[in-house]
Each structure stands twice: as C-alpha cells, then as structure tokens.
Amino acid sequence: MISHNSPALIPLISLGSAIALPLIAFKKKALAHPFTLLVSFTMVILSFYNIARVWQGERITYHFGGWLPPVGIEYLLDPLSAFIACVINTVAFFVLIHAGGILEREVPHRTVPYCALILLFLCGANGIIITGDVFNLYVFLEIFSLAGYGLIAVGERAAVVASFRYLILGTLGASFYLLGVGFLYIVTGSLNMADLKRIIAVIPVNPALIAALALMVTGMALKMALFPLHGWLPDAYTYAPSTTSALIAPIGTKVAAYVLIRLLFFVFGIKITVDTIPLLDVIGYMAAAGVLYGSLLAIAQKEMKRMLAYSSVAQIGYIGIGLSLANPMGYIGAVLHILNHAFMKGALFLVAGNLRNGSGHSEIPRFDARLRKKYPGGMAAFSVAALSMIGIPPMAGFFSKWYLSLGAVEKSNWVMLAVILISSLLNAVYFIRIWERVYLIKGNEENDDTLLQEKEPLILLVPTLILSFSLILLGLGNSFLVTKIIARIIPPGM
C-alpha cells in the first residue's frame, strides 16, 4: 500500500497532521513540537524512499480519485521532483530539531498554532513539488503562501507589516499565475503538465500562449524574489522568528525556482522559451542584476539577518542565471545550487538564531571576540557555511559556481561569467567583516556576563553543525550527485 501510494503520501501525511494537531494538543500543549518533529522525520524517510524508487530515471504517476489524466489530477514523481523533495524535507527536519530549543522563547503561548502552520507550510511545499497539474499547483501554492504569512507575522514588532507586504505581493504573484493558467486552458484545453507538453509542441505559437507564459513566469518570479520583484524579501526574513527565517529562506524561494524549471523546460519547452521569444535572456539579465544588487546591498547591512536576506536575493540570481543559459552545464549548476543554497542558508540562519538566543541580538557592529570564546561550535559552523557561500573548494558552493561558470563559457556569455566572479568577491567582503570582528580582533579580558548564556545548548548546536558540515560532504560527493541524479533530469532538447 505504501509503494502504491507513495507519491501522494508526503503531502497527505503533513496535511492530516496539521489538521489533527489542534485536536491532539488540545489538553497538553507540550505535545505539539514532538509530534511535528515525528511527522517531519516520516516525511524525510518517505522522500528518500521515493528517490530510491525513481533515481534510475523512471517516472511514477499517481491518479487522485482513480480518475485518469487528463481528466483527473495526476501526481508525478520523476528524479527532479523526488530530489528537490528530499532536499526540502531534510533541511526542514534539521531546522525543526533546532526549533525545539527556542520555540518557547520566540512564540510563547502559541506553539500549537505555530507548529500546525509549519506542517501546512511543508505540506504546501511538497505538494507544489510533486504535483503534475497546473491548477493543483496554484492550490498548494496558496496553502504554502498563507501558512508563510502566518509564520512570519508572529515575529517582532514590525513583523506584521512585513507579513502584510508579503501578503499583498504574494497574492499579486499567485493571481498572475492563475491568470496564466486561464490563458493556457483556453488555448490548449488541458491542465495536466504532460498533456500540455504534448499539445504545446504541435500548436502554432499564438499571442494567448505567449501571454500565458509571460504571466506564469512573472507570478513565479515574484514568489521566487527574482530582482526587481524581490521587495518583500528583506523585511520578511529579518523580522520573522528565527525558526521561520530558517524554514522560509531555504525552502520558500526554491519551490518557486522549481516551478520555473518545470514550466520553462518541461511544459513549454526550449523551442518557445529560447527560439520564439527571448524570455530566458530577460530572466538572465534580471538575475544578473539581482546578483550584483544583492551582494552590494548585503555589504551595507548592519544586522546579520538582513544581510543574509540580501544575500539570498543574490543567490536566487545565480539560479536564474543557470536557468537562462539553457545548456546542460548551466542547468546542472542551477539545480546543484538549489541543493547547496538550501543547506548553506539553513545553516546561516540557524547560526543567527543561536546568536539571538545567546546574546539577544545579531547586530554585526556589536560582534566581538567573546563570540569565538563562548560559542566555538556555532562560529565554526558559520565559517564553513560562509566559505561555501564564497565558493572555496571542497565546500559545496564551489561546485555549483563552477558548473555555472562552465555553462557561461560554453555559451560565450562573458557578462554572466564576470557577474559570477565579481559577486563571489563581494560575497567574500561581507563575510570577512564578521570574521574580522570575531576571529581577528583581540578581545579584552573584561567581564563577559553581558552574554545571556554560557554556552550553546546542544539542541541548538547539533543541527547547525550537521547542516553546515554536510556542505563538506556534499562538496566531496558532488560528482556522485551530478552524474547519478542530476544528469538524468536534464530536460529534453538541451
């Protein structure tokens, strides 16, 4: 029964648990977080089971309600969706372990609704990844977005305004996507992705089809925070609670990037997106501008979470550059960067959470050598993740930038190559700022009791270390990942 239903089980289990959580934790509120952790662990196991089923390149489909496509809704499990689902569920699991230590402090008296919203968020993210129907994707997109608005709004004082702005812009993006689905249905008469691919390949290109493509891509670019549609991101990541930032930053923008990959390469196909209209070029230049903008603005920030937020804008730009190159190397670089960035940003936001928990703030001008004495483990995790973001081998970040650069060279696109190299230097600048304050400046031996805690609790330290040292493992094993998994999901026609 599990193998028959396995594509659909991951969103279903998280949905059922999210609904049952208020009933289960009605009397005993402390049950909420352990139950969430258990469900997340089950989702990790199921996603590894799924990828074990499909990694040879096969595709497994699941028909809801027994109705066959194109009439019914179909869930599609192919190596790309299984791979991204694995990445997302693993990062979420470690972030949830970390949440166990700080949930009571960050969202007092509201842990039950908060955990239910986390489960709904994960349900929406997994549903977007596994579904094979464009309207079902809109439904899960809204589940995922609404849970995100709620998760952000319980943060600091200004978090409600950040969440409100995210709501307005997110609904704008989702409505554009829905309008695009409407145009697509009028032109093709089908909502199933495999069916759409068949039909779009044979019909003549007409303005309605181009309008559908443009609207869907704009909507998804808004959710992905591709420059210049990134306005909601800095405030939302900064003012949210630490767990929310560590969940949304690795996962939120990546699922939108995944939807772009599906739409651009698997549904519409290279013939339209490259040859007929220069859509990929536009995305590429917007992404390149975003990379430079994000890196430059990150240098100017005084607060660590805000700096990481602008850095995320830059990293999303890398994924956009990889997609716009439209050759196998660039595509591999983009997908590998989805994996690497999820782990890197997850680790960095967890470090920021630890610093806020330990010293009550994460403002960079106030960092000094006490941090390296009191929190050696946390700063080590920070250092490994920062080296990976800059792109130093053998950390994983180097390899995704390597593939992106190879793709740019293959296409003789020297602008992109220059952008990738310059931004790596800019990344180095804003991390060296923190290293200088923590490691290089001598601390004076005054009293250290301004720090709230003596050393980091284990429950906060271990997930951070796991996420950040697995970057070394991912870097060393990246040839296995590329040749065995990612190379099998290169879209047709590249």
Partner 1 sequence: MSNFAYISVAILLTLGIYGMVLKKNLVKKLIGMTILQVAVIMFFIASAVKGGATVPVLDERLGIPNPIHYISPLQHCLMLTAIVVGVATSGVAFALAILIYRRFKTLDEGILLQRMGEK
Partner 2 sequence: MRRFRRNIIILMVSKMVAPYIMLFAFYVIFHGHLSPGGGFQGGTLLSAAILLMRLTAGIKLGERQFKRILGTPLGSLGVLIYFGVGFLALLWGGEFLNYAYLPFGLTPEKLRYLGILLVEIGVGIAVAAILVSIYDDLLEHNNE
Among 27, 56, 65, 207, binds partner 2 (CB under 8 A): 65
CB within 8 A of 76, min separation 6: which ones?
7, 59, 60, 61, 62, 130, 131, 132, 193, 194
**19 versus 452: smaller Cβ distance to partner 2:** 19
- C-alpha to C-alpha distance for 371 and 363, rounded to whole angstroms: 12
* Burial label, 30 (beta-carbon count in 10 A; 0-12, 13-18, 19+): exposed
Phi, psi of 451 (to 5 degrees): -75, 140
- Does the protein bind partner 1 through residue 218 (CB under 8 A)? no
- C-alpha to C-alpha distance for 333 and 410, rounded to whole angstroms: 13
- Does the protein bind partner 2 through residue 26 (CB under 8 A)? yes
**132 versus 219: smaller Cβ distance to partner 2:** 132
Least distance from partner 1 to the Cβ atom of residue 182, Å: 5
Which uninterrupted H or E stretch holds 179? helix 159-188
- Does the protein bind partner 2 through residue 63 (CB under 8 A)? yes
Least distance from partner 1 to the Cβ atom of residue 169, Å: 9
Give the SS3 label for residue 75.
strand
Least distance from partner 2 to the Cβ atom of residue 185, Å: 22
- Does the protein bind partner 1 through residue 55 (CB under 8 A)? no
**6 versus 81: smaller Cβ distance to partner 2:** 6
Looking only at residues 127 through 166 of this chain, which bind partner 1 when binding is defined by CB under 8 A?
Answer: 135, 138-139, 142, 146, 149-150, 153, 157-158, 160-161, 163-164
- Does the protein bind partner 2 through residue 71 (CB under 8 A)? no
Give the SS3 label for residue 73.
coil
User: How far is CA 357 from each of CA 241, 284, 304, 343, rounded to the nearest angstrom?
Assistant: 11, 39, 14, 21
- Which single residue is written with the structure tokens 């960095």? 348
Looking only at residues 59 through 88 of this chain, which bind partner 1 when binding is defined by CB under 8 A?
Answer: none
Q: Classify 412 in phi/psi space as left (phi over 0), alpha (psi -120 to 50) or beta.
A: left
Kindly report the length of the chain: 494
Among 61, 171, 218, 327, binds partner 1 (CB under 8 A): 171
Least distance from partner 2 to the Cβ atom of residue 73, Å: 9
Contact assessment for residue 193 and residue 134, using Cβ atoms and an 8 Å cutoff: yes
CB within 8 A of 30, min separation 6: which ones?
none
- Does the protein bind partner 1 through residue 167 (CB under 8 A)? yes
**203 versus 418: smaller Cβ distance to partner 1:** 203
Looking only at residues 265 through 294 of this chain, which bind partner 2 when binding is defined by CB under 8 A?
Answer: none
Give the SS3 label for residue 363.
strand
**113 versus 182: smaller Cβ distance to partner 2:** 113
- Does the protein bind partner 2 through residue 184 (CB under 8 A)? no
- Does the protein bind partner 2 through residue 3 (CB under 8 A)? no
**150 versus 317: smaller Cβ distance to partner 1:** 150
Least distance from partner 2 to the Cβ atom of residue 19, Å: 5
Q: How many residues sit in the footprint of partner 1 (CB under 8 A)?
A: 24
| Token digits of residue 238 | 């900064």
* Burial label, 108 (beta-carbon count in 10 A; 0-12, 13-18, 19+): exposed
Least distance from partner 1 to the Cβ atom of residue 77, Å: 24
- Does the protein bind partner 1 through residue 229 (CB under 8 A)? no
Among 19, 201, 415, 458, binds partner 2 (CB under 8 A): 19
User: How many Cα atoms are found within 13 Å in the side-chain-facing hemisphere of 126?
Assistant: 31
Query: Residue 34: is the preceding peptide bond cis (ω within 30°)?
Result: no
- C-alpha to C-alpha distance for 344 and 464, rounded to whole angstroms: 10
Q: Which does 8 bind (CB under 5 to 8 A by kind): partner 2, partner 1, none?
A: partner 2
Q: Which does 388 bind (CB under 5 to 8 A by kind): partner 1, partner 2, none?
A: none
Q: Which does 179 bind (CB under 5 to 8 A by kind): partner 2, partner 1, none?
A: partner 1
- Does the protein bind partner 2 through residue 15 (CB under 8 A)? yes
- Does the protein bind partner 2 through residue 49 (CB under 8 A)? no
- C-alpha to C-alpha distance for 21 and 23, rounded to whole angstroms: 5
Angle at 359 between CA 357 and CA 360, to 5 degrees: 65
| Token digits of residue 33 | 């977080």
- Residues of this chain that interact with partner 1 (CB under 8 A) are 135, 138-139, 142, 146, 149-150, 153, 157-158, 160-161, 163-164, 167-168, 171-172, 175, 178-179, 182, 185-186
- Residues of this chain that interact with partner 2 (CB under 8 A) are 1, 5, 8, 12, 15-16, 19-20, 22-23, 26, 62-66
